[in-house]
């Protein structure tokens, strides 16, 4: 008689074997069952049984015959990347980005929704629900074919607990955000800090490809960083790594726990808007505030130039602090920092060369608003392997 523990172990072993077969098919398209047995070091009967099961599920397709090596011609197999899909979602500033991707991580359809400001947690959750419904309607994608969602949130996310310990913009402090979203969507969800997802996007598909030690810095409605050490995202003991918005950059004032950090209060988008109000002739809230300051400075506006220099210098203080601790090979600038141009990057590089013993190479992010979505898709595929929901 098999007890519950043995049953659980058998299911786990089967799950591991299935994923091993699928991994080999991702790496070695168009191979036979015999080839898979050699690659996975599983018995041929085991491989045949699991392959037949996954052909029925639609995960594997038979795609023709190969060359004979003395017997019957082998039937070749391929991983069907279109069998299921995953959702990537990222809150970025005043927008929510959503996308459906296939099992190869390729984006099939996406949409961006503008959000009200200020935004609370309930409004955020409802925007996810409505956005997903609209995405499924537009694409005709069957919700039953979705394996799960990767969700990027502002603040300090506790992945294992499914909570957010610090999130001034939504008020989600300590609440079971992941569970609530899963119940509303009817899908498994993995949460991650939004800037961490952008970092992973650039690391896997963007300007960070080929670099095993890098820092990604984002300045928007908040200020944050993502850190890659030896090819791995570093989260820290309390998953609060990269929360550089709490650096003591700029006037400290009265700091209260749970509010935006000092750096954010002085040099995030909203702080820069306030600084620019008496300098720019008019402000277009639909356009980048830093770009408007740069344009005014290029037209000879001395006050705009002084403000731009102040912003870049204080952003560089944060970069210097990061560099002194992390010593990255590459530092990626993103968000509003993208608008400072070559002259701005040159200034930052020169200041860094003067202030720190070993300055990293500085480059602009290359994926734009796709970085977070690509990172979210990557995390989703990692968290929810290509296995139908009823098997998990």
Task: Give the residue, 165 or 288, on which the prediction is more confident.
Answer: 288
Task: Give the residue, 260 or 130, on which the prediction is more confident.
Answer: 130
Please give the pLDDT value at position 7.
Answer: 53
- pLDDT at residue 198 tops 90: yes
- pLDDT at residue 368 tops 80: yes
Average pLDDT of the chain is: 88
Among the listed ranges 6-10, 70-74, 215-219, 361-365, which one has the minimum average pLDDT value?
A: 6-10
Please give the pLDDT value at position 335.
Answer: 93
Q: Are residues 109 and 226 in the same domain?
A: no
Task: Average the pLDDT over 13-29 and give the result.
Answer: 90
Q: Are residues 15 and 96 in the same domain?
A: no
Domain count, the chain: 3
4 within some domain: no
Residues 53, 387 contacting (CB under 8 angstroms): no
Task: Give the residue, 365 or 281, on which the prediction is more confident.
Answer: 365
Helix 289-298 and helix 302-326, axial crossing angle in degrees, nearest 10: 130
Which H/E stretch holds residue 153? strand 146-153
Q: Are residues 190 and 227 in the same domain?
A: no
200 within some domain: no
Q: Are residues 362 and 256 in the same domain?
A: yes
- pLDDT at residue 390 tops 60: no
- Please, what's the b/e burial string for 165-204 (b: 16 or more CB within 10 A of its CB; e: otherwise)? bbbbbbbbeeeebbebbbeebebbbbbbbbbbbbbbbbbb
Q: Are residues 271 and 349 in the same domain?
A: yes
Instruction: Give this prediction's pTM.
Output: 0.85
Please give the pLDDT value at position 374.
Answer: 95
- pLDDT at residue 156 tops 80: no
- Reported confidence tier of residue 392, pLDDT bands at 50, 70, 90: very low
Q: Are residues 242 and 335 in the same domain?
A: yes
pLDDT tens digits, one per residue of 284-343:
888 999 999 999 999 999 999 999 999 999 999 999 999 999 999 999 999 999 999 888
What domain range is 189 assigned to? 85-194+374-383
Please give the pLDDT value at position 15.
Answer: 86
Q: Are residues 221 and 273 in the same domain?
A: yes
Beta-carbon-side half-sphere exposure of residue 19 (alpha carbons within 13 Å): 16
Q: Are residues 153 and 290 in the same domain?
A: no
Residue 194's closest CA among 271, 124, 251?
Answer: 124
Q: Are residues 116 and 65 in the same domain?
A: no
- Reported confidence tier of residue 267, pLDDT bands at 50, 70, 90: very high
202 within some domain: no
Between the alpha carbon of residue 245 and those of residues 31, 188, 198, 233, 242, the distances in Å are: 50, 30, 16, 19, 8
According to DSSP, the β-strands at 95-102 and 85-92 are: antiparallel
Q: Are residues 351 and 219 in the same domain?
A: yes
- pLDDT at residue 6 tops 60: no
What's the CATH code of the domain at 50? 1.10.10.10
Residue after which a domain boundary falls, among 23, 52, 79: 79
Residue after which a domain boundary falls, among 44, 64, 79: 79
Residue for token pair 């799950």: 15
3-class SS at 113? strand
- pLDDT at residue 121 tops 90: no
Q: Are residues 90 and 73 in the same domain?
A: no
The CA-CA-CA angle for residues 205, 182, 11, to 5°, reads 80
Q: Are residues 228 and 184 in the same domain?
A: no
What's the CATH code of the domain at 241? 3.30.420.40
Among the listed ranges 1-5, 96-100, 264-268, which one has the minimum average pLDDT value?
A: 1-5
Residue after which a domain boundary falls, among 31, 58, 79: 79
- pLDDT at residue 215 tops 80: yes
Task: Give the residue, 266 or 341, on which the prediction is more confident.
Answer: 266
Task: Average the pLDDT over 144-162 and give the result.
Answer: 84
Please give the pLDDT value at position 1.
Answer: 36
- pLDDT at residue 116 tops 80: no
Please give the pLDDT value at position 101.
Answer: 94
Q: Where are the alpha helices (H) located in the chain, listed in sequence order? A: 4-27, 33-40, 44-57, 121-139, 177-185, 194-205, 262-267, 269-276, 289-298, 302-326, 341-355, 370-383
- Reported confidence tier of residue 387, pLDDT bands at 50, 70, 90: low
Please give the pLDDT value at position 170.
Answer: 63
User: How far is residue 155's CA from residue 85's CA, in Å, rounded to a whole number?
Assistant: 27
263 within some domain: yes
- pLDDT at residue 2 tops 60: no
Task: Average the pLDDT over 19-44 and give the result.
Answer: 92
Largest CA distance in the chain: 85
Residue 187 has phi, psi (to 5 degrees) of -140, 150
126 within some domain: yes
Percent of the chain with pLDDT over 70: 91
Between the alpha carbon of residue 218 and those of residues 20, 47, 195, 284, the distances in Å are: 37, 46, 7, 22
- Reported confidence tier of residue 60, pLDDT bands at 50, 70, 90: very high
Percent of the chain with pLDDT over 90: 63
171 within some domain: yes
343 within some domain: yes
């Amino acid at each position: 008689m098999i007890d519950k523990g043995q049953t659980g172990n058998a299911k786990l072993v089967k799950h591991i074997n299935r994923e091993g077969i699928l991994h080999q098919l991702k790496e070695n398209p168009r191979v036979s069952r015999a080839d898979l047995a050699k690659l996975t070091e599983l018995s041929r009967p085991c491989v045949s049984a699991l392959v037949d099961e996954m052909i029925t599920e639609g995960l594997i397709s038979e795609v023709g015959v190969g060359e004979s090596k003395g017997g019957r011609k082998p039937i070749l197999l391929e991983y069907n990347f279109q069998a299921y899909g995953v959702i990537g979602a990222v809150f970025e500033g005043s927008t929510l980005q959503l996308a459906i991707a296939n099992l190869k991580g390729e984006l099939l359809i996406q949409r961006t929704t503008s959000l009200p400001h200020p935004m609370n947690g309930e409004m955020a959750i409802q925007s996810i629900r409505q956005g997903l419904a609209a995405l499924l309607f537009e694409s005709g994608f069957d919700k039953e074919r979705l394996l799960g969602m990767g969700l990027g949130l502002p603040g300090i996310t506790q992945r294992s607990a499914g909570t957010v310990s610090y999130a001034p913009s939504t008020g989600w402090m300590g609440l079971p955000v992941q569970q609530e979203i899963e119940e509303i969507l009817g899908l498994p969800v993995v949460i991650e800090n939004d800037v961490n997802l952008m970092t992973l996007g650039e690391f896997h598909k963007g300007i960070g490809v080929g670099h095993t030690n890098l820092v990604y810095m984002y300045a928007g409605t908040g200020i944050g960083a993502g850190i890659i050490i030896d090819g791995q995202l570093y989260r820290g003991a309390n998953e609060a790594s990269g929360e550089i918005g709490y650096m003591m950059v700029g006037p400290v004032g009265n700091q209260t726990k749970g509010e935006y950090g000092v750096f954010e209060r002085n040099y995030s988008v909203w702080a820069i808007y306030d600084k620019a109000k008496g300098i720019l002739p008019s402000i277009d809230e639909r356009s980048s505030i830093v770009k408007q300051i740069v344009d005014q400075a290029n037209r000879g506006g001395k006050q705009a130039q002084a403000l731009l220099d102040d912003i870049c210098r204080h952003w560089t203080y944060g970069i210097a602090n990061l560099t002194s601790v992390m010593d990255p090979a590459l530092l990626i600038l993103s968000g509003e920092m993208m608008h400072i141009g070559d002259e701005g990057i040159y200034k930052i590089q020169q200041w860094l060369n003067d202030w720190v013993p070993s300055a990293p190479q500085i480059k602009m992010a290359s994926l734009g608003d796709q970085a977070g979505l690509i990172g979210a898709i990557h995390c989703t595929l990692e968290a929810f392997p290509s296995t139908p929901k009823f098997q998990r």
